[in-house]
A = this chain, B = another copy of it.
Amino acid sequence: MEAKQIAGGICAPQGFTAAGIHAGIRKNKDRKDLAMIKSSVPCIAAAVYTQNKVYGAPITVTRNNLQDHHAQAIICNSGNANTCLANGVEIATEMCDLAARSLGLQREDIIVASTGVIGMPFDIQPIADNIDQLAASLSIDGAHAAATAIMTTDTVPKEIAVEFEIGGCQCRIGAIAKGSGMIHPNMATMLSFITTDAAISPAMLEQSLKEVVKDTYNMISVDGDTSTNDMVAIMANGLAGNKEITTTDADYQTFTAALRQIATVMAKKIASDGEGATRLMECIVTGAPDQQTARNIAKSVITSSLTKAAIFGADANWGRVLCAIGYTEGDFAVDRIAVSFSSAKGTIDVCRNGAGIDFSEEKAKEILLEDEIHINIDMGLGSSSATAWGCDLTYDYVKINGDYRT
C-alpha cells in the first residue's frame, strides 16, 4: 500500500523548519543560494556519499560529523562546489561553525553540503554575513525556499512528503533534491535531504537508507558523469512518538517502503529534469539471471548516448538498446532478449529472440513522442528485475554544458 502524499515537503514531519535565501555566493540576486534545515530536537542521522575519488570538502566534513550518527541541522549552498580547493575543508568546517553558532548548536551537529562549479575559489563572507538572517527565517513554510536554494541547472525545485502509520502513530517523511547534470549511478551524484519524525535506531536508519538508495537514487543517470559532491542525508527526530524501530521488523518494512516511495519519486524527478531533457526514460529489465545483471543492463541502456539521442528524436531505434545491453558486464544470452517501448499511448513490441520484428513505425512514433517513455527488456533467462531512470540527450544538454562557467 502506498503511503499518502501530503504537502509540506521537508517540513511536513513534526519539528522541522527550513529556509532558503540569496546570500551572494551567486552573482544573480534572483537566485537563492543558501539553504538551512533544522530539527527542534536532536536527530538520528545517516548519509550516503559519492564514490568519486575526487570528492568535495563538504563530504569529508559531513562524514566526520556523522560518525556519532547524530545531527540537528543541514547547511547547503549552491553556486560553488567547494571541491579541489586547497582550503576546502577549512571552508566547510567554517560553514558548520557559522551554522552552529547561529542555531545554538555544536559544529558536529551540522550536515554541510555544497553544489556548483568545481575548483572555483570560495568566498565564505556572503555566508558569514547572512547566516543569522537565514537562521532567523527558518519556518515550517520554508521547505520550498530550501528546495529552491539548492538548485543549480535544475528547472524546477523537487520536493515531496508522505504520511503513514507505525503502531498507531502517524509518521511522516519529507524530502528535497537537486539534480540536473553530472548525474550517474554510483551513489548519489545529486543532493537530497530527507527528514522524518519516525523514531528509528541509527543502525536501522542507515540500513533502510542504503537499501532504498541502491534501487532509486543509484539507478538514475543524466550523463554518465559521477559527481564529486553529492550525498543523500536523512535526519530522524522521533517526534512522531512511535516505538523506536530497532530491528528489521514489520515497522521497519513500513518505514522503508515509505522511504522507497519518496526516493523513487525524487529519482524520477531528477532524471526527468536532467540537463536539457525533454523526456523521462524508464528502463525496466525483467527475466534477468540475477539482480546485479538486471541493474547493470538497465543502467547501461539509460546511459547510452546513442539510445538517449534516439529517444530525443522519438526514433524506435531498438538496435541501440540491444547494443547497450550487449556491452553490459554479465552473463546472458542475446537470442532470448525481447524489447518493447511503451508510454501513455500504448505499447509496441520491436524485438523478440534478439532479432527485430515487424512493427508500425507510425505507432512507435506516436508512443515515443510522449513525455515519459518506458523501455521494457525481458532477458528471458531468470526472475530478477531492476528499473533505471534517465533522460534524452538534447541540443540543450550540449548548450548548458558547453559553457557552464560563464
Contact = CB atoms under 8 A, between A and B. Distances in A.
Contacts of A400: 309
A332 to B, nearest CB: 7
Interface residues of A, number: 65
Contact of A322 (B118, B393, B401): B118
A304 B189 CA distance: 14
Chain A at the B interface: mostly helix, strand, loop or mixed? loop
Given A319-B84, A319-B118, A398 B312 contact: yes
A325 B186 CA distance: 15
Nearest to A88: B355
Contacts of A52: 323, 326-327
A319 B356 contact: no
Given A306-B182, A327-B51, A354-B84, A322 B402 contact: no
B327 A53 contact: yes
Interface string A372-406: 00000000000000000000011101111111111
A119 B403 contact: no
A318 interface: yes
Contacts of A324: 225
B404 A327 contact: no
11 contacts: A54-B325, A81-B319, A84-B354, A86-B355, A119-B318, A119-B351, A121-B356, A225-B327, A317-B405, A394-B398, A394-B402
Interface of A: 51-55, 81, 83-86, 117-121, 181-182, 184, 186, 223-228, 303-306, 309-310, 312-313, 315, 317-320, 322-328, 332, 334, 351, 353-356, 393-395, 397-406
Given A54-B354, A310-B404, 19 more contacts: A52-B323, A52-B327, A54-B325, A54-B334, A84-B351, A86-B353, A118-B317, A118-B320, A182-B306, A186-B327, A224-B303, A225-B306, A225-B320, A225-B323, A225-B327, A226-B326, A228-B323, A315-B406, A393-B398
